[in-house]
């Protein structure tokens, strides 16, 4: 939200009040520091007889993180849901006050507040990170009529903060955004919408960003937060929330990984998906015609061609048209769904079905839900309905415990029938002219709705299948949604541009606390060429999760050409062999919040060439992946300093430069970082096996000391290896109860 007109003027009909000084300060019983900051300098007692004060409260959320709450009127109605945050209840920070300043310390993070002329400066040790100075923090009014005439709750109040941007500072995150990866110069609205991958709209909006200076900011609001990332004042990043209060966390990394560790500690770490989810998913696609014969034909076709399929997904037409989501199988094409699921399981394949929280008027559930009041309501008490997506559809109100339990009961019946996972589609088109059972403001519930939706479904799977076996394939998210993986990138076009948009959005999401991510191999809208499909297959099978899915056509590889079958088989089997390595990276995501697919700037923060890279990534600590985006097969990537090894050929390449060559469909730039040990499993037909048994440890570019471990399903170490460089005789130590193979590359 822009409030200024250049450097000196406010926009028309905008009035802003800025803290001018610290008039007094105090420490509360819970360790909070409370500051009263009038929006004018107080020269005498008469200056205290009215006007705007901004109260600022500072506490230590966790070590190395300050929580800052600034408010105008404290007594406003608390009508917004709260993110589930793991933070201190008592602050342990240290502070000191002089006549001129207040200094507050938490680990290496320091906040200095100048009292006489308001200024807040954040430091990592003695390194200045960012500053909120005069006219940065603000209470903002639209159409301000004067103190005596302001009406409460008129929708004209906002709180704004601005933080300084250094020269050569860059910002990332804000959720899954398909705009350029570096967000400088952009306006970002935190508002979930179903907009596809070729617009500034996003399915997954997260009010969190990270700077390559090594700090991050999380705005603790479910409302429509507006960020101006150097797009109002080019030397400021601002964030604005409606209402009377601003609540944000300033997170010291001191690097990007450290920021994500702290942020996900507070907002929730990604659950660990079961091993089988890392196998290949195949979908019926969206609007295609299919029945049991079609399904079994696809499954048998994949298996007969030697493609290790692990999950089959039934998209929306497993239910009758106009009936979504009644969660009932269409008996015209699936007369024996329980038997069908059993027959699929007998082939070693799991089953996933598509759902959403919208209940069409023709659904068998509509009358039941309406009678019990389980849907969002209109202000007059009727059911909120519209015709967008399904005629007459209503929306399940997950703030009503009985409605939530009712919906979960329907899902439980499907799990009992043999369903292993749910694709939780939609959750973005949530109304703001409705009434919730919990009485919360509908605008403030709009983004948060997806958290309640995905949480409800995830709980069912955890309860029915056990902790560690639950997995979703979700499209919408808000802060904390990373706890319910996996998320996929939404509706992209089936061309190289759509592929490029997808990777950009995925990397932004990974910078926002999400550890696992997928996308529609081959694209969603329309049908790709065989060329794009094969290139996308390589990218998709070197992502954390891999799914073949589309809109109006099947995505089985033989529908493209026979080489597509070979390509999908080749990369699926490669991924299965990489499972010991990938599983260790999944555990990192679960335990530390460090994503599996990492932007280059996250892994190489000191290499300025990595700042803007958005078409390549690190898959875990050690594998560099650069999908091919050109019909001529030219693959191009930047290799940071060091010696890199071509995974396929073993060729050594010196880094610190760009690398380019032509690749067949069975290749792409896939490089191994120096001083790395990659564990390759003995099997290539399934993601579920004993990873330590006959594992091959490949040691790449040993320069000093390298280490890696292999983990079992429960996350316990079952094999580990240490390699120490010595000129003529490297020292290799392996601990495992199984036979292991070691290779020097």
Active site residues: 425, 428, 491
- Bridge-partner residues for 254, per DSSP? none
Instruction: Give the CA distances from residue 460 to residues 124, 355, 369, 448, in Å, rounded to whole numbers and listed in that order.
Output: 43, 14, 19, 19
Beta-sheet strand order (sheet of 546-548): 421-424, 350-355, 309-314, 280-283, 546-548, 520-521
Query: For the purposes of burial, counting CB atoms within 10 Å of the CB of 73, is it exposed (0-12), middle (13-18) or buried (19 or more)?
Result: middle
Run of H or E including 293: helix 292-304
Q: Is the peptide bond before 486 cis (omega within 30 degrees of 0)?
A: yes
Query: For the purposes of burial, counting CB atoms within 10 Å of the CB of 398, is it exposed (0-12), middle (13-18) or buried (19 or more)?
Result: buried
Phi, psi angle pair for 498, to nearest 5°: -60, -35
Residue position matching structure tokens 């499954």:
299
Q: What's the token pair of residue 122? A: 């954040």
Among 143, 151, 258, residue whose Cα is nearest residue 211:
258
Is the distance from CB of 620 to CB of 586 less than 8 angstroms? no
Among 158, 222, 189, residue whose Cα is nearest residue 440:
222
Is the distance from CB of 39 to CB of 70 less than 8 angstroms? no
d(CA 202, CA 209): 15
Is the distance from CB of 357 to CB of 326 less than 8 angstroms? no
DSSP-assigned letters across all residues of 554-611: ---GGGT-HHHHHHHHHHHHHHHHTHHHHHHHHHHHHHH---SEE-HHHH-TT-GGGT
The pairing of strands 394-395 and 358-359 is antiparallel
d(CA 131, CA 111): 10
d(CA 521, CA 536): 6
Is the distance from CB of 294 to CB of 148 less than 8 angstroms? no
d(CA 110, CA 112): 7
Among 664, 508, 658, residue whose Cα is nearest residue 598:
508
If DSSP codes are grouped into helix, strand and coil, which group holds residue 241? strand
d(CA 302, CA 343): 15
């Amino acid at each position: 939200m822009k409030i200024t007109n250049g450097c000196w003027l406010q926009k028309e009909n905008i009035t802003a009040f800025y803290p001018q000084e610290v008039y007094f300060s105090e420490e509360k019983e819970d360790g909070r520091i409370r500051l009263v900051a009038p929006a004018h300098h107080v020269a005498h007692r008469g200056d205290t007889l009215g006007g705007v004060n901004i109260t600022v409260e500072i506490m230590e959320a966790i070590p190395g993180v300050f929580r800052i709450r600034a408010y105008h009127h404290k007594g406003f109605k608390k009508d917004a849901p709260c993110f589930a945050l793991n933070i201190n209840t008592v602050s342990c920070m240290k502070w000191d006050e002089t006549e001129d300043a207040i200094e507050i310390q938490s680990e290496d993070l320091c906040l200095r507040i100048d009292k006489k002329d308001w200024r807040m400066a954040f430091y990592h040790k003695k390194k200045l990170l960012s500053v909120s100075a005069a006219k940065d923090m603000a209470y903002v009014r639209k159409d301000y009529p004067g103190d005596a005439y302001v009406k409460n709750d008129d929708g004209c109040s906002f709180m704004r903060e601005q933080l300084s941007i250094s020269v050569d500072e860059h910002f990332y995150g804000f959720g899954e955004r398909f705009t350029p990866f570096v967000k400088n110069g952009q306006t970002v609205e935190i508002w979930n919408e179903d907009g596809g991958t070729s617009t500034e709209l996003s399915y997954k909006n997260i009010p969190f960003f990270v700077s390559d200076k090594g700090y991050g900011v999380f705005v603790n609001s479910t409302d429509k937060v507006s960020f101006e990332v150097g797009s109002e004042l080019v030397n400021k990043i601002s964030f604005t929330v409606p209402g009377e209060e601003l609540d944000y966390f300033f997170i010291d990394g001191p690097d990007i990984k450290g920021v994500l560790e702290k942020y996900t500690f507070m907002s929730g770490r990604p659950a660990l998906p079961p091993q089988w989810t890392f196998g290949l998913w195949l979908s019926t696609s969206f609007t295609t015609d299919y029945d049991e014969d079609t399904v079994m034909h696809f499954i048998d076709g994949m298996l007969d061609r030697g493609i290790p399929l692990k999950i089959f997904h039934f998209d929306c037409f497993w239910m009758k048209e106009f009936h979504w989501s009644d969660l009932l199988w269409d008996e015209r094409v699936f007369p024996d769904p329980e038997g069908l699921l059993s027959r699929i399981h007998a082939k070693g394949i799991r089953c996933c079905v598509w759902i959403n929280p919208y209940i069409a008027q023709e659904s068998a559930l509509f009358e039941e839900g309406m009678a019990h009041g389980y849907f969002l309501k209109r202000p007059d008490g009727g059911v909120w309905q519209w015709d967008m997506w399904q005629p007459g559809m209503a929306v399940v109100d997950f703030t009503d415990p009985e409605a939530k339990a009712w919906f979960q009961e329907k899902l439980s019946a499907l799990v009992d029938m043999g369903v292993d996972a749910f694709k939780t589609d939609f959750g973005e088109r949530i109304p703001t002219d409705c009434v919730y059972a919990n009485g919360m403001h509908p605008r403030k519930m709009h983004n948060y709705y997806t958290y309640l939706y995905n949480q409800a479904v995830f709980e069912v799977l955890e309860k029915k299948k056990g902790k560690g076996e639950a997995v979703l394939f979700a499209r919408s998210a808000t802060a904390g949604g990373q706890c319910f993986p996996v998320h996929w990138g939404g509706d992209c076009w089936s061309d190289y541009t759509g592929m490029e948009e997808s990777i950009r959005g995925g990397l932004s999401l990974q910078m926002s606390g999400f550890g696992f991510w997928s996308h529609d191999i081959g694209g969603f809208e329309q049908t790709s060429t065989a060329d794009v499909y094969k290139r996308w297959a390589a990218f998709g099978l070197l992502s954390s999760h891999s799914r073949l899915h589309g809109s109006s056509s099947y995505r089985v590889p033989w529908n493209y050409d026979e080489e597509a079958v070979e390509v999908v088989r080749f990369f699926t089997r490669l991924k299965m062999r990489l499972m010991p390595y990938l599983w260790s990276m999944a555990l990192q995501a679960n335990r530390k919040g460090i994503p599996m697919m990492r932007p280059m700037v996250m892994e190489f923060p000191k290499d300025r060439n990595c700042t803007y890279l958005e078409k390549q990534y690190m898959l875990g600590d050690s594998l560099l992946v650069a999908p091919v985006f050109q019909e001529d097969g030219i693959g191009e990537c930047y290799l940071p300093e060091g010696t890199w090894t071509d995974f396929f050929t073993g060729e050594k390449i010196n880094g610190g430069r760009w690398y380019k060559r032509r690749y067949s469909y069975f290749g792409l730039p896939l490089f191994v970082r120096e001083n790395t040990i990659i564990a390759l499993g003995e099997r290539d037909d399934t993601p579920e096996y004993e990873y330590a048994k006959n594992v091959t440890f490949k040691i790449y570019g040993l320069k000093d000391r390298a280490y890696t471990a292999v983990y079992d399903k429960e996350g316990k170490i079952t094999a580990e290896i240490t390699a120490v460089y010595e000129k003529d005789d490297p020292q290799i130590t392996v601990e495992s109860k199984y036979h292991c193979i070691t290779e020097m590359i």
